[in-house]
Amino acid sequence: MSTNSPERARVRLENISSRAYEHPADRGALVALRSLRGFDEVFKRLSGLFNERALRLMFLSSSVRVSEQQFPDVHNYVRDAAYILDLDEVPELYIQMNPKPNAMAIGSQKPFIVMTTGLFDLLDAEEQRFVVGHEVGHVLSGHAVYRTMLLALIQLAARVAWIPLGYIGLRAIVAALEEWYRKSELSCDRAGLLAGQDPEAAKRALMKMAGGSRLAEMNPDAFLEQAKEYEQGGDARDSLIKLVSLMGQTHPFAVIRMAELDRWIKDGSYRRVIAGDYPRRDSDKDASIGEEARNAANSYKEAWERSSDPLMGTLRDVAGTAASAGGKIFDTVADRWKSAGRRDGDSSSTGS
């Protein structure tokens, strides 16, 4: 553990599965993808088109790589987060000169983390721990592979914009990936909290991302009231504006992130994980796709039930039916895929 905070002992979460902190909609998609034999390898090969080697060289040449000699405190935060979340390898982290506050985990073969000076300078030490833990959570979940693919698809969509049908098809895929991407951000806010184990620092970081460095002028309770007002919505016009405003957005709005993390803390989930009640990584292969699909649909339904938005009321009724039907469909597809895999394996063994 880092020697910079000897007064605060943090709990190591040995063998923790990323399912412990993943948002249901994020977890459902990932469990489905992980269950498809060979899919991860295909996706990694496709994401290689993004030229990860060139990307790494770009940051190596134009940013500062964190180490024991450069930004040593941040280096400790990365090591601590990897230790607490039981990650096998500590990812590299680069500090990039850029006034826009941002951080990201990218790459497929060997994911690495980038944090801008705009974000670094905005946060205090414990808030930086939260952000670093957030990005390490992306690495543990395997998000970096799919996020890199999304960046490649966005670039491809821009190149084929002059082909109407091709562009429309790609934009539909990108829109679906962006929705998953936003849910993955909610997942990793939880991972950041688990890594830093300081709920107040996590909330401060999210408020600063919305309102800047003047923390004394902001109030967490008032910020949560903003989230409540936004979630409850107004009339149908507000519903449409909300939907349109999400187009092209890869991150949820700050008030939503704050409210989601606050709910996760208040419902006892955070404390249960810290106490050792969480799924283990070696049980990931046994996760049910159908159950996760139902959990994902139910999570949307619960979110819509919190809203008085008229459009959300209609979607809530649809989700209630889809939760059960979707789970059954995913179960059937998964069973067929696994059966096909067993047949292929039997054929290979008899021929050798």
Average pLDDT over residues 300-317: 50
User: CA-based Rg of the chain, rounded to a whole angstrom?
Assistant: 21
Burial 255-281 (b: 16+ CB within 10 A, else e): bbbbbbbbebbeeebbeebeeeebbeb
Among 294, 285, 304, residue whose Cα is nearest residue 31:
285
pLDDT of 115 above 60: yes
pLDDT in tens, 146-172: 666 666 666 666 665 555 555 555 666
Average pLDDT over residues 98-120: 92
Q: Are the C-beta atoms of 225 and 296 separated by less than 8 Å?
A: no
Among 144, 134, 141, residue whose Cα is nearest residue 192:
134
Distance CA 124, CA 148 (A): 29
- Return all residues near 45 (Cβ < 8 A) that are at least 6 apart: none
Question: Two tokens at 147?
Answer: 């996020």
Place of tokens 């405190």: 73
Task: Please give the positions annotated as active site.
Answer: 135
Distance CA 233, CA 242 (A): 9
Mean pLDDT lowest among 58-67, 69-78, 333-342: 333-342
| CA 190 centroid distance within chain | 9
pLDDT of 331 above 70: no
Distance CA 147, CA 140 (A): 13
pLDDT in tens, 21-30: 988 777 766 6
Domain coordinates in residue numbering, the chain:
18-216+257-281
pLDDT in tens, 239-257: 666 665 666 666 788 898 9
CA distances from 54 to 62, 94, 314, 347 (A): 12, 15, 47, 41
Mean pLDDT lowest among 12-21, 39-48, 186-195: 39-48
Average pLDDT, the chain: 76
